[in-house]
């Protein structure tokens, strides 16, 4: 792959702009400035710098973000900033998309990728990937509420009651819920149907991938490597 094409594939701009970067001496490989854009190089695992900032070539992006409140999971946000504004600018050139959505006021673990096959596979309801949520409730959490989630709660637009894979009380006004279905506003609607109200919601895990092990603070992101990607959908909760 030529260097200008490599930079373009990594989201640094148009082919013309990437050639200008190279011509201006802004690209280094192995500590040396490269000024020839037509030089063919081995892309896989290539480490390079642009404007002095280090990068590694990645054919696709697989990211985890600790989504803060009041950010929209949309490339075209309308009422709040979009989650993509929390990421490096060149990622926007790579058609990076959230894998599924969290409401603007819901926080926690969000996956993003530019790999269409990965996005489709992770979003498919046939995968039954467990997702763990912590909900803060307006009314106290009771044993009866926990049991309702385990037994199944009837939602207006669903033919059958929907049950949580697991549910437990965390404290007087917090409940942990593990769901597989991924229905629209599912936790909030289930709580409302059970006679309570969701005051705050946070997703803490997808499959075996958890915010705790990633160590991300609100607004922080990281690359997901092969070992972490293997945890998605493959862990028993």
Q: Give me the active site residues, please.
A: 103
- Please state, in angstroms and rounded to a whole number, the distance separating the CA atoms of residues 141 and 134: 12
Do residues 97 and 113 lie in contact, with contact meaning Cβ atoms separated by under 8 Å?
Answer: yes
How many residues are given for the chain?
237
Closest CA to 110 of 232, 234, 236: 232
Residue matched to tokens 């991300």: 216
Q: What are the beta bridge partners of residue 205?
A: 132, 210
H helices present in 48-124, as ranges: 116-123
The radius of gyration computed from the CA coordinates of the chain, to the nearest angstrom, equals: 21
Show Cβ contacts of residue 34 under 8 Å, excluding neighbours closer than 6 positions: 3, 22, 27, 28
Q: How far is residue 8 from each of residues 46, 49, 176, measured CA to CA in Å?
A: 14, 14, 43
- Please state, in angstroms and rounded to a whole number, the distance separating the CA atoms of residues 140 and 133: 17
The SS3 call for residue 121 is helix
Residue matched to tokens 């109200």: 197
Cα-based angle 193, 153, 144 (whole degrees, multiple of 5): 85
């Amino acid at each position: 792959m030529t260097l200008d094409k490599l930079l373009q594939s990594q989201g640094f701009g148009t082919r013309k702009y990437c050639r200008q970067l190279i011509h201006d001496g802004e690209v280094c490989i192995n500590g040396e400035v490269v000024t020839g854009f037509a030089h063919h190089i081995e892309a896989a695992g290539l480490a390079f710098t642009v404007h002095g900032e280090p990068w590694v070539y990645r054919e696709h992006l697989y990211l985890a973000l600790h989504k803060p409140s009041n950010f929209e999971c949309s490339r075209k946000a309308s009422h709040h900033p979009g989650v993509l504004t929390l990421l490096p600018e060149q990622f926007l050139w790579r058609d990076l998309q959230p894998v599924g959505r969290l409401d603007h006021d819901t926080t926690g673990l969000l996956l993003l990728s530019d790999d269409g096959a990965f996005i489709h596979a992770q979003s498919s309801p046939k995968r039954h990937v467990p997702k763990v949520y912590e909900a803060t409730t307006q009314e106290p959490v009771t044993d009866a509420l926990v049991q309702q989630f385990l037994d199944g709660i009837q939602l207006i637009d669903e033919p059958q009651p929907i049950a949580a894979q697991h549910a437990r009380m965390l404290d007087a006004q917090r409940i942990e819920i593990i769901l597989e279905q991924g229905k629209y506003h599912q936790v909030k609607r289930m709580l409302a149907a059970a006679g309570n109200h969701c005051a705050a919601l946070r997703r803490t895990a997808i499959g075996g991938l958890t915010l705790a092990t990633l160590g991300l603070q609100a607004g922080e992101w990281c690359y997901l490597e092969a070992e972490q990607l293997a945890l998605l959908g493959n862990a028993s909760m």
